[in-house]
Structure 1
Amino acid sequence: MSFIRPILAVAIALAIGSAHAADPLLEQFNTLKAQQPRLQARDAARQLKVSEAELLATGIGSTVVRLSDASDAPREIMRRALDLGRVMALTRNENGVIETTGVATRLPKEAETASRDESEREARNLNIAGGYLGGPIDLRFQFAQWKHAFAVTAPGRDGAVTRSLQFFDANGNAVHKLYLRNEAGVAVFDKLAADFRHPRQDAPLGVTPAAPKAPSKADSAVDLAEFQLAWKEMTDVHQFNRIVAEFGLTREQALRLAPAGMVQKVTPQAVRKLLEDAARQQVGIMAFLGNGALIQIYSGKVNKVMAAEGWFNVLDPDVNLHLRETAFRSGYVVRRANVTSIEFFDDQGDLVVTFFGVRERGKPQPQSWLDLAAGLPKA
């Protein structure tokens, strides 16, 4: 499982530079890594009671370059990253990780700028960064949540140098990581890091603590009839988020309050059967995994699936999907606007991953996908 490999680039800084040796956080991380060499950066940060961004920043001056924190920098960095060529894109939330390898699709200029008015074009440019729609690296951005960026260059386990762009939100949580997977892109990476280099490498990050999770609205306070009517009137699945926000609901609450026949609850363990059946029957799937700042999408067939250390995994050459199924609390087969999806939530009520069937635009869902969804174990 590639995300479990000890690729924490900041660890290399432990042996570099006397200025870093006196950093108490770096010393604590050094001790922790010696005790738990396979520890992931996210889990190491949690144990040390800091954010992952702060932990990565201990490598500034050796393996890490802090990049610009200007409001438009993340979009422009990702736009420039389209020139890197073959990359591995990694997106995760607390209980899911998706990694896809390939070359991102660049949007034709006329498609990027086409819109009905200037404000719409501005919003479109903000969210697409010039590409990443469809293709192997398929991303949906919410750049307002991107706050900290770094370029990381460090030796990997096999001695080869790894280069990555790593992005974090205001709380220091990882938003997205982009790893270079070709030698031809090295010069592009180095120039990008130089062009966006933060003028004050030692400036405090200003990481802010996460706000407490807002309590959900009481079911009794929901205008149930109007909500269910809005659900039935959906003509596109993309309208769902707006409806959920309009009625002040959490996503899982909306599924619980859905009109009769629109939602079937399944067991949390159904995610394993879904992926096993999809692999065995070669049913094309779409997996959506995000974290509030970015959604990464994989579309295609899966082949090698297996369980390991509390995670259920897809381990194919160009896509890895890792789901901490031990933290899953609930699953739902959902029908909206005549489209069937399957959603899984963790023990905090947060959405981990959503699956759709692959289908051609304007054509009905494949019966194989509908059969797969119908065959999942009911809760």
Structure 2
Amino acid sequence: MNGRYQHYLSLKTTHPQKHTSELAAQMAISEAELFFCRLGQDVVQLRPDFTALLHGLSLVGEIKNITRNPYAIHKLVGRYDNLRLGQHGIVLNPRALDLRLFPAQWHCAFAVDEQTTQGLRRSIQIFDNQGSAVLSVFTTEHTDLNAWSELISECSLRKHRELDLRPYPVPLHSGAVNAQALEHEWRAMTDVHQFFSLLKNHEVSRQQAFRAVGADLACLVDNDAVQQILVQAEKAQNEIMIFVASRGCVQIFTGPVDKVTAANKQLHVANPAFSLQLNMHNIAETWVTRKPTREGFVTSLELFAADGTQIAQLYGQRSEGMPEQLIWREQIDAVMNTGVAA
């Protein structure tokens, strides 16, 4: 039994409620390295053939998919139906499991059979080149366990493969911003997806772009805005969209919000097939942004941590080719009127 695994067992016994990422941080290693040290115990290493892995997941039926960053956890129950793979990947099931996948960022994967107080918990854990979680897939009581077992068997590595982790690349954001040109291009957009090209062309982060344009396009608001707008959406029962991203996956919830609770700045959203957890203490900036489309402006609420990580994005539900919900705009206006940041 290796020393890291013994250290992990000791920490897990002392801190049974802590997440694997927290235990890895205490051990001063990445989360992927923590799973690697458990090989031969309750973990199996999988081949980094992510095309085969994703196609296999499309055959197992219902699963619980978790996409997280250090500040938010987004859980959806659904199926890997309507999987499309190309340069990027899509699991396109609006109002169900809805993912945007970036396998070029994926590095390694593990299958885990972990005994818990609730019984055996089966999962597949995927990590990026830095050893941080991309996404986690858990079985449910409705998963086809035979198909799951076949997938694990087919994708398992017969011989362990050492991890080749790398430090995070330094963002190539220029110090100077041509605010006039950036704002001109922003106002000329006809589709929200053009915003990614705008950032790339100007070599700026989202927050740099927000600061460079007029307040009608991007405006700082109070960091309690996310709680306010979720409570409004819960009362009105209008459909909203909540995006949470890791470095290799964007996970999207679409629908009405059933239950919002907040205690000691811990915000929870709970639906039968969806949940969101975030600590509002981690929100350093909250922006309302408006991006032009052929159908009019699309408005978002975007949350950022102090290190620049985008914690989450919220939108009103909008189908392609349709204008934005009026009720969502009213909810955003109410947040801006009551919680504008200094």
Shorter-chain TM band: over 0.9
For each residue in 1:27-48, what CA deviation from the matched residue of structure 2 results, as whole angstroms up to 9, or x when unmatched?
A: 1112212222211111111111
**What are the Cα deviations for residues 160-185 of structure 1, in whole angstroms up to 9, with x where unaligned?**
x2211110001110100011113551
Is this contact kept in 1: 2:63–2:143, CA < 8 A? no
1:205 Cα shift?
1.6
1:63 aligns with 2:42: yes
More strand by share: 2
SS in 2 for 1:83: coil
Aligned with residue 88 of structure 2, among 124, 127, 131: 127
Taking structure 2 as the reference length, the TM-score comes to 0.92
3-state secondary structure, aligned to 2:58: helix
Matched, 1:48 2:27: yes
Equivalent in 132, 157, 165 of residue 207 of structure 1: 165
Deviation at 1:261, TM superposition (A): 1.4
> Equivalent residue for 2:306?
347
> Retained in 2: the 8 A contact 1:145–1:293?
yes
Match of 1:368 in 2: 327
Give the alignment partner of residue 158 of structure 1, picking from 74, 97, 118.
Answer: 118
Which residue is equivalent to 1:217?
174
Amino acid across the alignment from 1:378? V
Residues 21-170 of structure 1 correspond to what in structure 2 (within 5 A)? 22-69=1-48, 73-106=49-82, 125-128=86-89, 131-159=91-119, 161-170=120-129
Pairwise CA RMSD? 1.7
Q: CA distance change for structure 1 residues 309 and 78 in 2, over 3 Å: closer, same or farther?
A: farther
Q: Where does 1:188-203 land on structure 2 (aligned, <5 Å)?
A: 188-201=147-160, 203=161
1:135 offset after TM fit, Å? 4.5
**1:93-118 Cα shifts (integer Å, max 9, x gaps):** 010110001223325xxxx5xxxxxx
Deviation digits for residues 258-290 of structure 1 (CA, Å, limit 9, x no counterpart): 234112211112111111111122121101110
Shift of 1:342: 0.9
Q: Tell me the SS of whatever aligns to 2:52.
A: helix
Check conservation: 1:75, 1:126, Cα contact below 8 A.
Answer: no
> Is this contact kept in 1: 2:240–2:317, CA < 8 A?
yes
Deviates more, 1:221-230 or 1:319-328: 221-230
Q: Aligned to 1:298, what secondary structure does the other structure show? A: strand
Cα distance in 2 between the residues matched to 1:306 and 1:133: 27
Structure 2 gaps, min length 5: none
Amino acid at match of 2:157: H
Distance 1:47 1:249, change over 3 A: same
Deviations 1:9-40 (A, max 9, x none): xxxxxxxxxxxxx3111111122122222111
Encode CA deviations 1:291-323: one digit per residue, 9 max, x unaligned.
221100000011111124542110222111011
Equivalent-residue separation in structure 2 for 1:333 and 1:324 (angstroms): 19
- Separation (CA, whole Å) in 2 of partners of 1:169 and 1:93: 12
Q: Where does the alignment leave 5 or more consecutive residues of structure 1 unmatched?
A: 1-21, 113-123
Deviation at 1:187, TM superposition (A): 0.9
2: CA distance between counterparts of 1:348 and 1:375? 28
Which of 359, 363, 368 is the matching residue for 2:318?
A: 359
CA distance, structure 2, for counterparts of residue 309 and residue 349 of structure 1: 23
Q: Deviations over 1:140-159 (max 9, x none)?
A: 01110000111112223222
**TM superposition shift of 1:199:** 2.8
Residues 345 and 351 in structure 1, CA contact (< 8 A), matched pair in contact too: yes
Whole-Å separation in 2 of the counterparts to 1:150 and 1:68:
9
What percentage of residue pairs aligned between the two structures are identical? 28
